[in-house]
A and B are shown apart, each in its own frame.
Chain A
Amino acid sequence: MYPHILLAADGSENSVRAANEAIKLAKCSPSSIIEVVMVTDFEKSKQDILHAQSAESLLLERKRKISNVELLLTTEKVNYKITFLKGSPGSEIVRYANEQKADLVVIGSRGLNGLQEMVLGSVSHKVMKRVHCAALIVK
């Protein structure tokens, strides 16, 4: 049904729920692939670099953050790949989804940083408004 499903993930409870819905849709057709997209905010780079022993350990650290989503995808046996992006989460997901011509974007309604959302507005809302393909917001 949706050959290329983009799943925005940050390791939060919400992104796990979003992953569950993405898996349901991916299972509709065997050729579907779920691309897990994790966006690291520019602001986090400095702290991440300072606290990581090396670039390799930083990669591992970031992979660990979404290990809950990855575990789900492996146990459910769906095709998936993981992409790490940098920038402000909302606009980066939109840019990437439009550039890759994804067929569907799946995103949790609320991410890790609740306070930031109150000030800057929700990422999922921003994505839904500006992405060119279908969007599924998971409550």
Chain B
Amino acid sequence: MQTIQQQWFGNIRGDILSGIVVALALIPEAIAFSIIAGVDPMVGLYASFSIAVIIAFVGGRPGMISAATGAMALVMVNLVADHGLNYLLAATILTGIIQIFLGVFKIAKLMRFIPNSVMIGFVNALAILIFMAQVPHILGEGIITYVFVAVTLVIVYTVPRFIKGIPAPLIAIIILTAITFIFGIELKTIGDLGTITQSLPSFFLPDVPFTLETLQIILPYSLALAVVGLLESLLTAQIVDDMTDTKSDKNREARGQGIANFVTGFFGGMAGCAMIGQSMINVKSGGRGRLSTLVAGVFLIFLIIVLGNLVVDIPMPVLVGIMIMVCIGTFDWGSFKYLVTAPRPDALVMITTVAIVVYTDNLAIGVLVGVILSALFFVASISRVKITEQDGIYIIEGPLFFASTQNFVQTIEQATVDQITIDLSSSHLWDESSVGAIVKVVSKLEEQGKIVTVKGMNPASELLYQKLLGITTSQ
């Protein structure tokens, strides 16, 4: 891994420029995610500033961008609707504490247990939910709204072919906001949904009673936020690792996410995590080091302080168009091929994860069910032992353990010949059940007056067999 000095100052010019690009691309997203969560745009903007700046110092993946995100916003919708902003801030602080603990206890190792079918389901469900959150802003808003959404999409997909340095969403915002002014077009704006404060965030304690009841309210949300945040952050870290061909410290990143959320809660910001899209923009724009993340956060708040009064005039349909672009970028378009080519259980797990998230509106539940389902499929698939019989020789292929012994016992018990050989050279004994199964089968057949030989046990299986039967060779 690189030294601290390289992580900060190894790529100064590239990091500053990319940080500026990311800040410009972050503003519309931070505002849109605030609107999804049902809070004032400042909550997302302060969160993006605070999280980006803190994670630049304490994160484990230099060059990755963390801020207010759609995944987190979607988890907190009900909490905000039922209990208000202060409970969200308290939940954000608790999310931080949980994530710090998970980081200390090396959560990153557990990531390996989340199969890719669940991760694909996760990003697809995320894209679908963000899209669904946009629908109320489009439907029934009149023909001009549709036109603005469409024009925004045309701009964000065609302009990058010609102008590379400036993020296309920003160009769409500037052009279309100018058009509403010039032609006096009346559209719903960000100002209609919230306010923009042109000041730095300040420290305050969330106004909630410090009681067990409060904890009962926020804990389920904090747990879900902690899981969803780490999931997306560690996935993004893997992507940035791959893009830059460098390694990262995933457990440090988990702790860093926790610290960032913990502090952000005290500064009026909502919980956030790493962002796949923004991190990719950063790397593509030349960002590699911690400096890029710091610049993104600082420049974002600078822009809000200087130009905040203009931000309220951005028409909502433009923001909706940008969010649709985010959905298209988030969705894994390789999924359709995956559904056809992947093993059936994997495809089913992916679909189930998406379906449960869309049905429950909760990313954490979808991931949990997906992981459990795929674990069950995994056990079911390796518990299928293949048994072939020829002239009384039974060849066992596949591991023998608690889930696979039943089939083994049933098949061998039905042997009709007098001399039986059980060939275990393509198998492995894993646990008490497997040793017990061998003992059971052998004694049962011997009771019937048959001669049974067990051969081909590998050294590890042999050792387990002897140990569990109390026959130790080292007598």
A residues with CB within 8 A of B = 42-43, 45-55, 58, 84, 86, 119-120
Contact = CB atoms under 8 A, between A and B. Distances in A.
Interface stretch (B241-249, B308-316, B392-400, B456-464): B241-249
Given A42-B280, A42-B283, A119-B161, A50 B242 contact: no
Contacts, number: 48
A50 B123 contact: yes
Given A47-B334, A49-B238, A55-B238, A86 B243 contact: yes
Given A45-B239, A86-B244, A50 B280 contact: no
Contacts of A119: 161
Contacts of A49: 235, 238-239, 242
Mostly, the A contact residues are: helix
Contacts of A48: 242
A75 B276 CA distance: 42
Contact of A42 (B241, B284, B334): B284
Interface residues of B, number: 23
B112 interface: yes
Given A42-B280, A46-B280, A119-B161, A86 B242 contact: yes
B123 A45 contact: no
B389 interface: no
Contact of A45 (B115, B119, B242, B338): B242
Interface string B240-271: 01111100000000000000000000000000
A86 B334 contact: no
A53 B112 CA distance: 9
A50 B123 CA distance: 9
B344 to A, nearest CB: 16
Top-4 shortest CB links A-B: A45-B243, A45-B242, A47-B334, A49-B239
A5 B212 CA distance: 70
Nearest to B330: A46
Given A46-B280, A53-B115, A55-B238, 18 more contacts: A45-B239, A45-B243, A46-B239, A46-B276, A47-B332, A49-B238, A50-B235, A50-B332, A51-B116, A51-B334, A51-B338, A53-B116, A54-B112, A55-B241, A58-B242, A84-B245, A86-B243, A86-B245
